[in-house]
């Protein structure tokens, strides 16, 4: 019995040790910033003497021709820090945010083209370190934008116990790389999954104005990054509609997308309401639409009830409904004698 209990405890300890989950928080450098910074360390393009600081890398690549550059990592703490350093492909989150893949994710695009001399570095307290790297697009690389980044990830982080599961959080920051392979530029957009959700309320059920939420997805179907604007128009079956102010869509990477929700208030549906969405940037334009029938059920029930009462009264006393409401029947006129 004691041996069985010991074995169970051993299995639990093994599960706890094997149950460490690494969670990475990636912070991409925004175009207006000079570095990806979490307050403890940062990473940014190395400043070239005599030139302005770069917010991100933006190399122009020729297939088969390598390009060299370097990235700078700073340690803002008073103790040495050790990092994993790696290249990552970029992607859009569901709401259109810029994000970089984790170290353990497969490298499928520009991350495969980037060569770093080391996989880990140690930066002294209040110090910085430059790391050279090279990018070489293969001969079969497609033209257009290939976004990615270089990430520094802490090798240690806080561990939280959740039963038998230990969760370790590793912070990471990454600087963006907007690489473009020379060749044809083909910008293109699509608007998909346009849905209309109508909120009638009591007023709407009686035939009055309604509110609606329009949800749609803007997809970058081209080979260059785009920052389009979207305009939503809500049109009833009869009468004038309502046009919302243009909406700034987050930067969309090639094959990236963003799902957006907008609210339309106080509109007369008149039986059916249709939402038209137009996304555009420069000469590129795409459209999508969604519609929904809006039926004033309470108004219909009231009309049916009134009609039913009228028919009921008519069947019970048809003569009373046909007689004049007041006065007496007119007397017959006497013939006129000559």
Q: What is the pLDDT of residues 209-236, one digit of tens each?
A: 788 899 999 999 999 999 999 999 998 8
Q: pTM for this one?
A: 0.76
Sign, CA dihedral 213-246-239-275, equals negative
CB-facing half-sphere around the CA of 242: CA atoms within 13 A:
15
Mean residue pLDDT across the chain: 82
Q: What is the pLDDT of residues 3-33, one digit of tens each?
A: 433 444 443 443 333 333 333 334 433 333 3
Q: What's the pLDDT score for residue 270?
A: 73
Q: Transcribe 135-163 into DSSP letters.
A: E---TTPPSEEEEEEEEEEES---EEEET
User: What CATH number does the domain located at 19-181 have?
Assistant: 2.60.40.10
Cite the residue boundaries of each domain of the chain with CATH code 2.60.40.10. Answer: 19-181, 189-294
In Å, what is the CA distance from 132 to each residue of 41, 70, 146, 334?
18, 4, 20, 123
CA pair distance 251, 96, nearest whole angstrom: 7
Q: State the residue for tokens 């009055």.
A: 208
Region label for 273, one of left (φ > 0), alpha (ψ between -120 and 50) or beta (otherwise): beta
In Å, what is the CA distance from 303 to each residue of 206, 268, 297, 298, 310?
11, 19, 10, 9, 11
CA trace torsion 230, 231, 232, 233 (10° rounding) = -160
Q: State the residue for tokens 């907007």.
A: 178
Q: State the residue for tokens 């990454």.
A: 174
Tell me the average confidence (pLDDT) per consecutive run of 10 residues in the chain, 338 residues long.
40 36 38 62 92 94 96 96 97 95 96 97 97 97 97 84 72 96 97 90 62 95 97 85 93 97 84 92 95 68 73 70 55 58
CA pair distance 309, 317, nearest whole angstrom: 12
Query: What is the bridge-based pairing of β-strands 36-37 and 41-45?
Result: antiparallel
8 Å CB contact between 106 and 148: no
CA pair distance 34, 54, nearest whole angstrom: 6
User: What CATH number does the domain located at 189-294 have?
Assistant: 2.60.40.10
């Amino acid at each position: 019995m004691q041996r069985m209990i010991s074995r169970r405890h051993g299995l639990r300890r093994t599960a706890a040790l094997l149950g460490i989950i690494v969670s990475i928080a990636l912070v991409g450098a925004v175009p207006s910033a000079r570095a990806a910074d979490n307050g403890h360390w940062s990473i940014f393009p190395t400043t070239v003497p005599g030139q302005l600081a770069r917010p991100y890398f933006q190399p122009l690549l020729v297939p088969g021709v390598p390009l060299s550059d370097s990235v700078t990592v700073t340690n803002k703490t008073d103790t040495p820090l050790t990092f994993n350093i790696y290249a990552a492909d970029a992607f859009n989150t569901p709401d259109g945010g810029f994000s970089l893949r984790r170290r353990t994710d497969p490298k499928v695009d520009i991350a495969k083209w980037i060569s770093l001399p080391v996989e880990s570095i140690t930066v002294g307290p209040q110090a910085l370190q430059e790391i050279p790297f090279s990018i070489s697009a293969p001969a079969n690389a497609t033209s257009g934008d290939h976004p990615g980044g270089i990430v520094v990830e802490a090798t240690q982080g806080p561990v939280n116990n959740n039963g038998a599961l230990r969760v370790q959080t590793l912070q990471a920051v990454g600087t963006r790389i907007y690489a473009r392979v020379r060749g044809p530029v083909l910008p293109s957009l699509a608007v998909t999954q346009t849905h209309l959700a109508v909120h009638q309320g009591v007023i709407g059920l009686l035939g009055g104005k309604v509110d609606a939420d329009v949800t749609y997805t803007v997809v970058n179907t081209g080979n260059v990054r785009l920052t389009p604007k979207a305009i939503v128009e809500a049109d009833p079956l009869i009468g004038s509609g309502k046009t919302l102010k243009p909406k700034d869509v987050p930067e969309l990477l090639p094959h990236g997308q963003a799902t957006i929700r907008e609210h339309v208030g106080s509109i007369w549906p008149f039986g059916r309401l249709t939402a038209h969405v137009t996304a555009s940037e420069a000469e590129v334009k795409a459209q999508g639409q969604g519609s929904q029938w809006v039926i004033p059920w309470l108004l219909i029930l009231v009309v049916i009830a009134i009609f039913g009462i009228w028919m009921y009264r008519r069947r019970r006393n048809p003569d009373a409904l046909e007689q004049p409401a007041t006065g007496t029947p007119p007397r017959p006129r006497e013939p006129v004698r000559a």
